[in-house]
């Protein structure tokens, strides 16, 4: 069970790195090295899939990884928008 949790954490980290690789991300104000973050995120997703594969079957593992990535890509921009708050002059 611990390997599944570790795999899930690695997948969420990989999805976050892929989010940070996007030029439209709002988490970091500075320009980030997109290509490096993208390749690192892809490697983390693959590593997370390999870890989850040790716990579940192949079809279930792919479903788990894709679902975790989609949840991260859905929730992360909302958290960033809430954290940053409304722009000055708007409320």
Rounded to whole angstroms, the Cα distance separating 62 from 45 reads 10
Domain boundaries defined on the chain: 2-82
Measured in whole angstroms, how far is the alpha carbon of residue 58 from the centre of its chain?
Answer: 21
pLDDT reported for residue 66: 98
Is residue 15 within 8 A of residue 66, CB to CB? The reply is no
pLDDT reported for residue 69: 98
Q: What is the pLDDT along the chain (91 residues), one digit of tens a residue?
A: 899 999 999 999 999 999 999 988 888 888 889 899 999 999 999 999 999 999 999 999 999 999 999 999 999 999 998 988 867 666 5
């Amino acid at each position: 069970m611990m390997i599944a949790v570790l795999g899930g954490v690695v997948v969420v980290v990989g999805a976050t790195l892929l989010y940070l690789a996007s030029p439209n991300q709002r988490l970091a104000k500075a320009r980030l090295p997109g290509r490096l973050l993208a390749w690192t995120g892809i490697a983390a997703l693959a590593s997370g899939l390999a870890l989850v594969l040790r716990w579940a079957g192949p079809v279930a593992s792919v479903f788990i990884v894709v679902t975790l990535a989609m949840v991260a890509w859905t929730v992360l921009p909302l958290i960033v928008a809430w954290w940053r708050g409304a722009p000055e002059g708007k409320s």
